[in-house]
């Protein structure tokens, strides 16, 4: 199945007229998240370890992917006025704290770590743009797309995967995986499930968790 799925991914990608530099803009990714997303609790269980150990520190890629995923989590919560959004904003700020020249963006997320301020969508959008510039546009947007996809799968919204950006983003994920065979295989398995005529949201959800876990370390 893995070999067949790899061919399917290549064929789907080859239909595109140009090579994309990055996943879709973070504003477009955020727009795909339903305003009722926070009502579903299953996606809130993050697939990656909460704390990187001293023996296995968080990589630059992993940090950026987590930032992107948390930005979407923040948006999903803030859209419904969930007080947990402020806590997530603080966590994004913590992840960005080790980047050089990140003072302004970190301050923006610290300001959003307030139940009143976090409701300001313009401030969240400005902070998100700063985060992707600081941490890396490709990896942050990839993390954001994967989290939006996780939310869609949990909500059984398989139409999410019919969007034009799906195959190019999966191809980018394969490139970001580099020489990591296990992560590349995770991309291939996810691609196979998405390519099925009758998509199984449960299997897609499990595959998304596996890929996000692999990329976020």
The candidate with the shortest Cα–Cα distance to 112, out of 88, 77, 139, 135, is 88
Q: How many CB atoms lie within 10 A of CB 19?
A: 10
Whole-angstrom distance, CA of residue 217 vs CA of residue 200: 27
Task: Determine the 3-state secondary structure of 56 from DSSP.
Answer: strand
Q: What ranges do the domains of the chain cover? A: 2-215
> What's this model's pTM, rounded to 2 decimal places?
0.89
List per-residue pLDDT tens for the chain, 217 residues long.
Answer: 555 554 555 445 444 445 556 789 999 999 988 655 656 666 778 888 776 555 567 899 999 999 999 999 999 999 888 889 999 999 999 999 988 889 999 999 999 999 999 999 999 999 999 999 999 999 999 999 999 999 999 989 999 999 989 999 999 999 999 999 999 999 999 999 999 999 999 999 999 999 999 999 8
């Amino acid at each position: 199945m893995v070999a067949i799925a790899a061919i399917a991914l290549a064929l789907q990608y080859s239909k595109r007229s140009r090579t994309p530099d990055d996943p879709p803009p973070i504003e477009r990714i955020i727009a795909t998240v339903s305003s009722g997303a926070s009502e579903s609790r299953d996606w809130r269980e993050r697939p990656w370890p909460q704390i990187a150990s001293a023996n296995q520190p968080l990589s630059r890629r992993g940090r950026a992917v987590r930032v992107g995923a948390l930005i979407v989590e923040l948006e999903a919560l803030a859209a419904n006025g969930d007080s947990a959004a402020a806590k997530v904003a603080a966590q994004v700020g913590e992840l960005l704290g080790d980047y050089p020249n990140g003072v302004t963006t970190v301050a923006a997320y610290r300001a959003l770590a307030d139940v009143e301020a976090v409701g300001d969508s313009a401030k969240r959008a400005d902070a998100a743009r700063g985060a992707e510039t600081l941490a890396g546009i490709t990896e942050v947007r990839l993390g954001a797309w994967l989290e939006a996809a996780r939310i869609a799968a949990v909500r059984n919204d398989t139409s999410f995967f019919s969007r034009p950006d799906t195959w190019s983003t999966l191809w980018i994920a394969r490139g970001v995986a580099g020489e990591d065979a296990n992560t590349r295989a995770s991309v291939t398995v996810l691609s196979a499930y998405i390519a099925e005529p009758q998509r199984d949201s449960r299997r897609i959800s499990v595959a998304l968790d596996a890929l996000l876990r692999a990329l976020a370390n």
